[in-house]
Structure 1
Amino acid sequence: MTAPDGWLDDLERHRADKDEYLREHPHSPLPTDQRAEFEGLDYFDLDPDYRFDVEIREHDTKETVTVATTTEGEREYVEWGEFDFTVDGEACTLQVYSRGDDDEGFWLPFRDATSGEETYGAGRYLELGADDRTGDGAWVVDFNRAYSPFCAYNPAYECPLVPMANWLNVEIRAGEKTYEPPTPTN
């Protein structure tokens, strides 16, 4: 898929803003002793082939699912719908989740063949909001924006685990790679 004008600049700015947040914001998930040495997250190269315009098919019956967390807790989400896309010739389907019964925004967790190798082992997330809707009602799913949950940077955070329905056998070589804490310089 061809990326729109400004796509590359927007993503580079988004990545720079996230690095600044992690390094400087008082609510950063990075442990305070890592912030001074933090030089930025590692990402796959930006690739428009991992950007899709998709139709999300709303489920007739929306099930509330309980999702386990990294700290043995649980969170509830509504399994709202699903969409299909193709990566390297392989057809894939992912479920989208919401906190309620509307389509105002979605949580899109996924694991793929890079999980535990090049990316965070428990998976990565995407958030879809109003800005991700196209004029014809489709959704832009851009895996270049895939991010690791806060627990990837600091195990004190509780993060929902990716439901098995969203475990992919293909590599999604886009978005954040595994966070490597900086080496202390003392």
Structure 2
Amino acid sequence: MKPYIIFLFLVIPFFSFSQKSLASKKTLKQETKEIKEIKKFQKELNEEYLNPKETPLRGDNFTQFKKHPFFPIDLKYRVEAKFIKTENPTPFDLPTSSGKSKSYQEFGKATFELDGKSYTLTIYQSLDLMKMEKYKDHLFLPFRDATNTKETYGGGKYLDLKIPAGDSIILDFNQSYHPYCAYNAYDYNCPIVPEENKLPVEIKAGVMYQDIYHH
């Protein structure tokens, strides 16, 4: 066998292995970046609840609070959804936990797959917040799932988003949290999750619930 042929037999497997190794490192780097974002969210949420000027907790709930319980981080629940913007949305009043309402409009719909099945959630925009420079690109995704009343608050959870640049949007349920009224129903007025955003599956991601907060 000619020397250059032997050389090719030796180099090709090595080149293939190197390419796989680079791809693996790239994926690991990306996952690390995503996990860092989730850990940052968890840290900031804990800090907010430990801050007496920001926390919704009162009395013993505040003094006993150390940190939130979270589901284990699982990138399965970080999904890229197909986003379709709602054209000419009509403002509407979204009912809240106090019996009052808050003004929102439908911003668009996000369709994603989880365990091979497709689901669609509606994303909203607060008419009050969109007038503020700080929140002009803020979107609101309230949802319910099959963990509610068990591992999570019965009224559902929230996810904060930013207006996407294109026709896709990242939904990272690892960064989902409970509304303030889950911890303090007396001082806070929280939007109720619309029926269309009730998922028939378990979303084991984000903040969990503790018995001490049940009313």
TM over 0.5: yes
Give the equivalent residue in structure 2 for 1:167.
198
After superposition, the C-alpha distances for 1:128-156 in whole angstroms (9 at most, x for unaligned) are 026xx47x663221000000000011112
Percent identity reads 31
Equivalent-residue separation in structure 1 for 2:87 and 2:101 (angstroms): 25
Residues 76 and 52 (structure 1), Cα distance of their counterparts in 2 relative to 1, 3 Å cut = same
Which is higher, the Rg of structure 1 or of structure 2?
2
Q: How many residues align?
A: 178
Give the equivalent residue in structure 2 for 1:117.
150
The equivalent position to 2:63 in structure 1, one of 36, 43, 48, is 36
Where 2:211 maps in the other structure, the secondary structure is coil
The equivalent position to 2:87 in structure 1, one of 60, 63, 74, is 60
Equivalent-residue separation in structure 1 for 2:93 and 2:146 (angstroms): 24
Residues 137 and 60 (structure 1), Cα distance of their counterparts in 2 relative to 1, 3 Å cut = closer
What is the CA-CA distance between 1:83 and the residue it aligns to?
A: 1.1
Give the equivalent residue in structure 2 for 1:145.
175
* C-alpha RMSD over aligned residues: 2.3
Query: For residues 1-186 of structure 1, what are the structure 2 equivalents within 5 Å?
Result: 4-100=31-127, 104-129=137-162, 133=164, 138-156=168-186, 157-181=188-212
Taking CA–CA contacts closer than 8 Å with sequence separation of 6 or more, which of the two structures ends up with the larger relative contact order? 1
Question: What letter corresponds to residue 129 of structure 1 in structure 2?
Answer: K
Equivalent-residue separation in structure 2 for 1:46 and 1:153 (angstroms): 23
Equivalent-residue separation in structure 1 for 2:42 and 2:52 (angstroms): 15
Question: What letter corresponds to residue 110 of structure 1 in structure 2?
Answer: F
After superposition, the C-alpha distances for 1:9-55 in whole angstroms (9 at most, x for unaligned) are 23223212221221233231001332222121111110111112223
Higher alpha-carbon deviation: 118-127 or 21-30: 21-30
Where 1:20 maps in the other structure, the secondary structure is helix
1:119·1:178 contact (CA, 8 Å) conserved in 2? yes
1:82·1:93 contact (CA, 8 Å) conserved in 2? yes
Higher alpha-carbon deviation: 106-115 or 7-16: 7-16
1:24·1:35 contact (CA, 8 Å) conserved in 2? no
